[in-house]
Chains A and B, each alone.
Chain A
C-alpha cells in the first residue's frame, strides 16, 4: 500500500487501542493540526481509521479575573475590611468600609452585590454587618480562578457559568477529534506501507523527464483567498458611451466628429438662436480668449443672418434682435454637439446629405452651470438626427421609443416643449427602471425651416439630445457624478462598480 507522507505519518502515530487526539498527533508527526485533520478524514474514506468527535468547553480568565488573582475578589476584600472594623459585632457604615478596603469605581457595586449573595453578611440602610462564621479563605470562586490560572481544569459547570455571568471567565467550545486505527490499517501496517512522494510545483524538468507520472501533488487549500489583483478596465462612462454607440450604429446612424472649440456661428447662429438669447450671454457660455474663427462659408453666413433678420419663406418673420458677424465668429467651447449637426447638414464637414441619412455623436459639451452632484461643467451629450423626406412627429416618437427601449426604459412620454431651433419640440420623460420615478431623459424636435433652409436642406430633419451622464446615473444608480468623472474620481468606486452590459 502507498499513502501520501502525511497520511502515513498519521497512521504510524495513531494506535488501534487508544484513541489519539489530533493535537497530539500533530505534535508527534510535526504536521500542523489542519493537515492531520485533513489526513485523518482522507484515511477514514479508505476505512483505515475511525474519527471520533466531541465537544469540549474551554474556560479562560478575563482581564478582570487576572486582576483579582493579585488583589483578591472585591467581596472578599470588603469582608476582611468589615471584620477588621468590627462589623461582626456592630454594623459599620459602608463609606468607612469602602475607604478602608481601598475599593474603587465599579468594584464597589461588585463587592456589595456578591457580599450579600455569598452570605458574608448583610447590608441595611448603608450599614454593613459581617457574618463572623463566613470563611472567605475557602471561597469556591476564588479557588476556581486560581485553578484556571494554574492551567488546571474546573469541572463544576455551575461554578463556571456563575463566573461567566460575572464576566470573570469566557467559555468557548471546540471540537476535539480522536483517531483510532482500524483492523484494516493494522493489517496494512504489518504488510508495510510506502510513502508516496508529493511535490509542490510542477516543473519543466518533471514534464520533460516524465517524473510527473511518479509524483503526488501536495494539496492546496483551494478555498483560501488569493492576493487582490486590479486588472485594467474601461471607464464605466466610456462603457456606457460605447453601449450607446453600439445601439445607434445598429439603428443605422453614422458617427460625427468635430471641434470642441468652435465659432458661435456653428454652435448657435445656425440653430436660429437669437444673439441676445439668455443662453448666449457670458453667464452660460465658455468664451475663449482667442481671435474669431478665420473662415466661415460666406454664403451660408448671409443666409443665416437673413433667417435671423427676416425669417424664411413668404410668411416668415425674423427675430427682432441684433445680429453681428463678429459675434458669430467668436470662438467658444460648444454648449451642445448640435454644432456638429450643423457642420454636417451644411455640407461643410464633407458629409453626404442626400436623404435619407442618420447621424449621431456621443461627445463632450461645456456649460457654465453650477457644479453639483448631478451637474458638471463638461459632460457627454448624445446627439442624433434623421434626415428624410416627409418625416412626422410619429416617426420621431417611434425612433426614440426604440432607442430608449434598448436601455430598459419603456413608456416614453412626450411633453410638448419649446426650443428656438425645433418645432414641434418635445421633452422626453421615461420611467426609472428601479425607482419608478418619472425622469426627463431628453429633448427633441423637428428642425425649424429657419434652421434647414439656410443649410440648403429641403427634406425634414428630426433631432434629439440627451446627457449621457443621466443615462449612466439611471443605469448604475450613482448619486454623485463627480465620483466617476474627473480628477476627484474614486479609484475604488471605479474598480468595484459592477459591470452593466
Chain B
C-alpha cells in the first residue's frame, strides 16, 4: 500500500489549524483511513493508505481532506482556469505505443523547498500507482520561463510545444543529473534513470520527445532535460503528461493542478491538438482543452443508502454528509420511480479518480457518518450449512490413517523437479505412478518451487530427510493435492487428492505397509489387490500396483536403497501412495 510522507507543520499550515498537536493530527488522519506508520529522519509523518484516494498522495491533498473533515470546507470545489495561451501540438511521428499527451500551465506558484519536495513526492507516487511505473502515464514538470514556445502557425501567434517521435540517435540534449549532451539512446545506456526505464521504450522505432523552439526538453517517460528543471524559486510551471490512456493522464494532471492550486498557483488551460485525428482518443476528439476540470454527476437513491448503511437518515443529513466528503448533492428527479421519489444528484470533483459507481459514494457517506458508529447485527437470514462431499471423504480417510498410527502431515504443493522426479529415480512421462507431466510455474520464486508435485511421496521423504534427528519410528501420512498436465482437463491441469504414507523404522517391511493399506481399504469397503510391478523408486520384487476395485490407483513397496541414501536415511522405509477418489 502507498506510503506518503507528510510534514506536520505543513499540514497545520495548509489546514489553517495551528492548534492541532501531532497526536491529534494522527487521530484525525486515521479517521480518514491514513494510518500512521512512523516518522522519517526529518520528523515527517509516514502515512499508509489504501490506493484508492490518489488525490491524498501529497500534503496538499491530505490537508484538503482534513479541511472537509473539520467542516472548514464544504461541498465541491473547482478552481477557475484562465484561457489557453500555449498549444501542445501532437505530430504524426509520435510512437504508436505512447500516443497521448495532456498538460496545463500553472502560474505564480508559491514554491519553497518543502513545497518542491512535496511536488516531487506526489509525482513519484503517482508514477508508482496510477502511472503503473510510468508505463501508463509519465509526468514532466518544467520551469515555464526556461521554455521558448514555437510560433504555432502563421495565423496564431501563441506559443506551442510539440510532442513527436525522434530517431534514438538523431538528437542530443542534457538530461537531468548530467553535465553532457546525450542522445536518447545514450541516456538509456549511460544514465541511471535511463537504464531504469529503458524497457518502456526499447521496442519503439522512434522515441517520444517534446520540443520547444530551442529543441528537445523532455524525453518521456524516461527523463526531462536539465534546461527546464524546476527550482524552489520557480514560479511559472508547465506540466506535461504522456501515456497510453487519455483519461488516466488527464486525471493525474488534475491531481497535480489541485495540489499546485493549494500552493497559490493559478491554473491556465492549454490547447492540445492531435495532427492525426485517428491517433486521438475517440471519446475526446483531436482538439482538447486541458486540464479537464469537468464535474461528473452520478445519481444515488435514498433507499440504497439506508439499506447499505443499515440506518435511517433524513435528506438534510445525507446532503450534509456528502458536503463533508467534498461532494455536492441535490435532490433530483426519480425518473424510474423506484426510490420513493428521493434520488440525489451528486457532483464529483475532477480529482476523484476512484468513483466509478454510485456505490462508491455510499462508502464516502459511511466514512463521513463514521462506520464505527454503526451497531453490528447478526443478519436474520436462515440457511443450512454443510460440507462438500470431497472434503468429507478426505476427512474420513485422514481419520482412518491417524487411527492406524500415522502422523498426519501437511506439505507444500509446489516442489522442484529434482525432488519430485530425480531423487525418486523416475522420469516424467514414463508412465509409472508419480511420473505425470509437470505443471511448471512460469516465473518461479526459487529453484525449490518450480512446479506442482505430481505425487505426495517425495514430500514425505523430504520430511523424513529433515527429521533424522527425531525419534523413530516415524510413520507419516499425508492426503494432499497432486497435479499433472492433462489436455483432457478444461484448465489443461489434472488435479487430484493423493494419499501418501511412509513407515520409517529399523525393521520396516513391505508387509507393514500392506497391512495398513489393507486396513484403510477395509474401512471403505474397497477391494484391494497388489499384483507385482516394477517402479524405479522401490526395490524390485518388493513393489506392487495398488489395485482398488479392479482399477490401478497407486503403488506400494519398500523404498529403493538408492532413494534412501539420496535422502540421507539410514533405515528402511516402506511406503504406499494411491488416489483418494479410489476409496469413494
Asked if B356 and A393 sit within 8 Å, CB to CB, the answer is no
Which residues in chain A, 258-311, are within 8 Å of chain B measured between CB atoms?
A: 259-263, 276, 278, 282, 286-291, 293-295, 311
Q: Tell me the complex Cα distance, A460–B308, Å.
A: 9
> Which one, B83-91, B110-118, B210-218, B365-373, is touching chain A?
B365-373
Q: Tell me the complex Cα distance, A495–B357, Å.
A: 53
Out of A235, A245, A259, name the residue touching B410 (CB < 8 Å).
A235
Nearest chain A CB to B365's CB is how many angstroms away? 9
> Which one, A55-63, A207-215, A480-488, is touching chain B?
A480-488
**Given A287-B442, A315-B299, are A252 and B384 neighbors across the interface (CB < 8 Å)?**
yes
- Most chain B beta-carbon contacts within 10 A, residue among A288, A397, A446, A495: A288
Nearest chain A CB to B124's CB is how many angstroms away? 15
Q: Which residues of A contact B441 (CB under 8 A)?
A: 286-289, 333
Out of A314, A397, A494, name the residue touching B374 (CB < 8 Å).
A397
Q: Which residues of B contact A235 (CB under 8 A)?
A: 407-410
Out of A234, A245, A402, A490, name the residue touching B467 (CB < 8 Å).
A490
Q: Tell me the complex Cα distance, A255–B389, Å.
A: 9
Q: Tell me the complex Cα distance, A393–B405, Å.
A: 47
Asked if A377 and B445 sit within 8 Å, CB to CB, the answer is yes
Q: Which residues of B contact A418 (CB under 8 A)?
A: 33, 50-53, 354
Contact pattern, A 467-501, Cβ under 8 Å of B = 1, otherwise 0: 00000000000000000111111111011000000
Q: Tell me the complex Cα distance, A172–B440, Å.
A: 70
Asked if B408 and A448 sit within 8 Å, CB to CB, the answer is no
- Most chain B beta-carbon contacts within 10 A, residue among A319, A322, A366: A366
State whether the Cβ of A228 lies closer than 8 Å to any Cβ in chain B: yes
Q: Tell me the complex Cα distance, A231–B440, Å.
A: 37
Asked if B362 and A423 sit within 8 Å, CB to CB, the answer is yes
State whether the Cβ of A436 lies closer than 8 Å to any Cβ in chain B: no
Asked if B471 and A234 sit within 8 Å, CB to CB, the answer is no
Nearest chain B CB to A195's CB is how many angstroms away? 42
Count of chain B residues with a beta carbon within 8 Å of a chain A beta carbon: 96
In chain A, what residue has the closest Cβ to B458?
Answer: A487
State whether the Cβ of B575 lies closer than 8 Å to any Cβ in chain A: no
Asked if B33 and A358 sit within 8 Å, CB to CB, the answer is no
**Given A232-B404, A392-B309, A416-B371, are A487 and B442 neighbors across the interface (CB < 8 Å)?**
no
Asked if B402 and A234 sit within 8 Å, CB to CB, the answer is yes
State whether the Cβ of B481 lies closer than 8 Å to any Cβ in chain A: yes
Q: Tell me the complex Cα distance, A377–B403, Å.
A: 31
Query: Which A residues contact B (CB, under 8 angstroms)?
Result: 228, 230-235, 237-238, 242, 245, 248-257, 259-263, 276, 278, 282, 286-291, 293-295, 311-322, 331, 333, 356-358, 364, 366, 368, 371, 376-378, 386, 388, 390-395, 397-399, 401-402, 413-419, 423-426, 446, 448-450, 460, 484-492, 494-495
> Which one, B73-81, B145-153, B484-492, is touching chain A?
B484-492
Q: Tell me the complex Cα distance, A245–B381, Å.
A: 19
State whether the Cβ of B136 lies closer than 8 Å to any Cβ in chain A: yes
Which residues in chain B, 446-463, are within 8 Å of chain A measured between CB atoms?
A: 446, 449, 452, 459, 462-463
Nearest chain A CB to B313's CB is how many angstroms away? 12
Asked if B409 and A276 sit within 8 Å, CB to CB, the answer is no
In chain B, what residue has the closest Cβ to A278?
Answer: B132
Asked if B357 and A311 sit within 8 Å, CB to CB, the answer is yes
Asked if A392 and B308 sit within 8 Å, CB to CB, the answer is yes
Nearest chain A CB to B312's CB is how many angstroms away? 12
4 more A-B residue pairs beyond the given contacts A276-B136, A331-B491, A487-B459, with a C-beta to C-beta distance below 8 A:
A261-B491, A261-B495, A313-B358, A320-B248
Q: Which residues of A contact B52 (CB under 8 A)?
A: 418
Query: Which B residues contact A (CB, under 8 angstroms)?
Result: 33, 35, 50-53, 132, 136, 244-245, 247-248, 297-299, 307-311, 354-360, 362-363, 366-367, 371-372, 374-379, 381-388, 390-391, 395, 398-399, 401-414, 439-446, 449, 452, 459, 462-463, 466-467, 470-471, 473-477, 481, 483, 485, 490-493, 495
Asked if B385 and A232 sit within 8 Å, CB to CB, the answer is no
16 CB-based A-B contacts, threshold 8 Å:
A230-B471, A233-B408, A250-B385, A252-B381, A255-B388, A259-B495, A261-B493, A293-B492, A321-B245, A333-B452, A378-B413, A397-B376, A414-B372, A418-B33, A423-B357, A490-B467
In chain B, what residue has the closest Cβ to A402?
Answer: B378
**Given A395-B377, A495-B407, are A423 and B372 neighbors across the interface (CB < 8 Å)?**
no
Asked if B307 and A394 sit within 8 Å, CB to CB, the answer is no
Q: Tell me the complex Cα distance, A418–B56, Å.
A: 14
Nearest chain A CB to B199's CB is how many angstroms away? 13
In chain B, what residue has the closest Cβ to A274?
Answer: B132
Q: Which residues of B contact A262 (CB under 8 A)?
A: 491
Nearest chain B CB to A253's CB is how many angstroms away? 5
